[in-house]
């Protein structure tokens, strides 16, 4: 049996495969009627599963806080809250830029969409850089995941989230490839946007719980 | 180049930024200063999940998605808001 590696059509579009016209999608319709799923329907299984996993972590973190609220408060107050706030604003801005990019892409505004995506990517990288700076600060002050329960949650939640940010950056970069090829909005493009918004959505909760609620 | 802006999304984004400022204010000691103490801080949880709902329904386009997806997403938001606020106030 031979393996036909020339069949680009089998590859996803962002890896150079042929654009599947059947996957081209229209703008969403009104809230009435059947509605349409943005991105691949299967992607939503992953998105909702991921959100539920994070949700379980949030519940466990606040539950553990009840056992040692004073310790959580002291540890949470050591975090650089202003960095967390800036990162929240940066991710919210990136989400808005991704919305703008999809809006422009659907109207054929490839240049406008590309510019918006460049902005969103830059926001993603700024977020990652600030997070690394924060890690260096926290680790430099002698705090590790083993310091106490708060720092265990801090490193696990922000670490897994940072991994999501980096995956999102790759997805957005691949979307730029779709734009460069002058292709219309596909389910892959919509899925990338949905994924990026999930990254934003999870961060606003992580920021509020770890940096504000635990510290109060 | 495409002209105009996505008006609805722009309004939602401004609301999200305003809600961020509110949660920051509630969390950064002012909540406790209002006299209600933990109750005001706990208010940050429903406020943040309102943001989450807006990001989902407007930016992730859940608002125009099939009913099943709208229900599951709405349930995720409501259950977590209720559970987390309750645990915090217990």
Question: Nearest C-alpha of chain A: how many angstroms from B74?
Answer: 11
Q: Is residue A79 within 8 Å of residue A209, measured between CB atoms?
A: no
Chain centroid to CA A140: 27
Of A59, A208, A209, the CB nearest to B83: A59
Contact B2 A112 (CB under 8 A): yes
Q: What percent of chain B has pLDDT over 90?
A: 66
Q: Which residues of chain B are within 8 Å of residue A84 when distances are taken between CB atoms?
A: none
Q: What is the ipTM of this complex?
A: 0.91
Of A30, A198, A208, the CB nearest to B44: A208
Q: Which residue of chain A is at minimal alpha-carbon distance from B69?
A: A37
Of B13, B32, B49, the CB nearest to A92: B13
> What are the tokens at B36?
């209600």
What does the pLDDT read at residue B31?
52
Q: Which of A100, A213, A214, A215 to mutate to test binding with chain B, by most B CBs within 10 Å of its CB? A: A213
What does the pLDDT read at residue A22?
47
Contact B32 A216 (CB under 8 A): yes
What does the pLDDT read at residue A66?
92
Q: What is the pLDDT tens value at each position of chain A, 216 positions in all?
A: 444 444 444 556 556 565 554 455 555 555 555 788 999 999 999 999 999 999 999 999 999 999 999 999 999 999 988 899 999 999 999 999 999 999 999 999 999 999 999 999 999 999 999 999 999 999 999 999 999 999 999 999 999 999 999 999 999 999 999 999 999 989 999 999 999 999 999 999 999 999 988 887
- Mean pLDDT on B7-34: 81
Q: pLDDT tens, A176-185?
A: 999 999 999 8
Q: pLDDT tens, A23-45?
A: 555 555 555 557 889 999 999 99
Q: Which residues of chain B are within 8 Å of residue A96 when distances are taken between CB atoms?
A: 9-10, 13, 59
Residue B33 in this model has a pLDDT that exceeds 60: no
- Mean pLDDT on B67-89: 96
User: Which residues lie closer than 8 Å to A27 by C-beta, 6 or more apart?
Assistant: A106
Q: Which residue of chain B is at minimal alpha-carbon distance from A51?
A: B76
User: How far apart are the C-alpha atoms of A38 and B70, rounded to whole Å?
Assistant: 12
Three-state SS for A79?
coil
What does the pLDDT read at residue A27?
58
B39 or A43, higher pLDDT? A43
Q: Is residue A116 within 8 Å of residue A110, measured between CB atoms?
A: no
Question: Nearest C-alpha of chain A: how many angstroms from B4?
Answer: 9
Q: Which of B65, B67, B73, B85 to mutate to test binding with chain A, by most A CBs within 10 Å of its CB? A: B65
Residue B9 in this model has a pLDDT that exceeds 80: yes
Q: Which residues of chain B are within 8 Å of residue A40 when distances are taken between CB atoms?
A: none
What does the pLDDT read at residue A183?
92
User: How far apart are the C-alpha atoms of A5 and A210, rounded to whole Å?
Assistant: 48
Distances in whole angstroms, Cα of residue A173 to Cα of each of A134, A191, A201: 25, 13, 20
Contact B84 A107 (CB under 8 A): no
């Amino acid at each position: 049996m031979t393996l036909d590696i020339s069949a680009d059509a089998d590859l996803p579009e962002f890896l150079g495969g042929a654009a599947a016209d059947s996957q081209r999608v229209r703008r969403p319709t009104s809230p009435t009627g059947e509605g349409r799923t943005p991105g691949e329907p299967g992607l939503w299984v992953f998105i909702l599963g991921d959100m539920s996993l994070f949700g379980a972590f949030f519940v466990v973190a606040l539950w553990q806080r009840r056992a040692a609220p004073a310790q959580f408060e002291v540890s949470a107050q050591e975090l650089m809250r202003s960095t967390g706030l800036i990162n929240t604003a940066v991710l919210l801005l990136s989400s808005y830029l991704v919305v703008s990019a999809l809006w422009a892409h659907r109207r054929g505004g490839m240049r406008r969409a590309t510019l918006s995506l460049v902005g969103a990517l830059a926001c993603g990288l700024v977020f990652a850089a600030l997070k690394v700076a924060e890690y260096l600060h926290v680790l430099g002050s002698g705090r590790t995941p083993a310091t106490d329960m708060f720092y265990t949650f801090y490193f696990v939640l922000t670490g897994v989230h940072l991994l999501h940010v980096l995956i999102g950056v790759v997805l957005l970069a691949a979307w730029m490839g779709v734009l460069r090829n002058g292709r219309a909005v596909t389910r892959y493009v919509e899925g990338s946007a949905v994924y990026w918004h999930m990254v934003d959505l999870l961060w606003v909760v992580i920021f509020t719980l770890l940096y504000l609620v635990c510290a109060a | 180049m495409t002209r105009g802006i996505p008006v609805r999304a722009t309004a939602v984004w401004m609301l999200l930024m305003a809600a961020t400022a509110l949660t920051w204010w509630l969390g950064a000691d002012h909540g406790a200063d209002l006299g209600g103490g933990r109750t005001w801080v706990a208010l940050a949880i429903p406020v943040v999940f309102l943001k989450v709902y807006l990001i989902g329904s407007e930016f992730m386009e859940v608002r125009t998605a099939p009913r099943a997806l709208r229900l599951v997403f709405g349930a995720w938001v409501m259950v977590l808001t209720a559970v987390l606020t309750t645990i915090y106030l217990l």
